[in-house]
Structure 1
Amino acid sequence: MANLNAEWLKQLAPDHAPPPSGWWPLAPGWWVLLVLLIAILAIWIYRYRRKPSVLSRAALRELQLLESKGGDDASFSRELQNLLRRYALAKYGHAIVANLSGKEWLAFVIDHGGKAFAGETGASFLRIAYGGQAQSERESWLNGARAFLRWRK
Structure 2
Amino acid sequence: MPTSTLPLRDIHLPDAISAWPPALGWWCVAVLIPVCIVLAVLLFKRLTRKTPVRVALALLKQIKQNAELSPQQKITELSILLRRVAISVSPVQEAASLTGDAWLHYLDSFLPSPLFSQGLGRCLADKPYQPANTESMNAQQLAELLTIVETWLNACAKSSKRRFNRV
The aligned amino acid for 2:61 is: Q
Q: TM-score, normalised by structure 1?
A: 0.52
From 95, 98, 114, the equivalent of 1:97 is 95
> Contact (CA 8 Å) 1:77, 1:125: kept in 2 or not?
no
TM-score computed with the length of structure 2 as normaliser: 0.49
Aligned pairs for 1:53-64 within 5 A: 53=50, 59-64=56-61
Q: Cα gap change, 1:125/1:50 in structure 2, threshold over 3 Å: closer, same or farther?
A: farther
2:152 to 140, 144, 152: 144
2:121 is equivalent to residue 121 of structure 1: no
Structure 1 residue 148: Cα displacement = 3.7
Whole-Å separation in 2 of the counterparts to 1:81 and 1:121: 15
**Rounded Cα–Cα distance in structure 2 between residues aligned with 1:146 and 1:84:** 12
Percent identity between the aligned chains?
A: 19
Task: Indicate the SS of the match to 1:138.
Answer: helix
Q: Which amino acid aligns with 1:127?
A: R
SS at match of 1:121: coil
- The DSSP-based 3-state class of the residue aligned with 2:115 is helix
Q: Distance in 2 between matches of 1:75 and 1:99?
A: 22
Equivalent-residue separation in structure 2 for 1:58 and 1:79 (angstroms): 14
Letter in 2 for 1:36: I
Q: Give, in whole Å, the separation in 1 of the partners of 2:66 and 2:50.
A: 24
Q: Are the equivalent residues in 1 in contact too, given 2:121–2:145 (CA < 8 A)?
A: no
Amino acid at match of 1:100: L
RMSD of equivalent CA atoms? 3.9
How many residue pairs match? The answer is 123
**Which structure 2 residue ranges, 5 or more long, are not aligned?**
1-20, 128-136
User: Which structure shows the bigger proportion of residues in helix conformation?
Assistant: 1
Query: Equivalents in 2 of 1:121, 1:41: separation in Å?
Result: 44
Pairing 1:69–2:66 present = yes
- Match runs of 1:31-46 below 5 Å: 31-46=28-43
Report the CA distance between 1:110 and its aligned residue. 6.6
From 77, 82, 99, the counterpart of 1:84: 82
* Counterpart code for 1:97: A
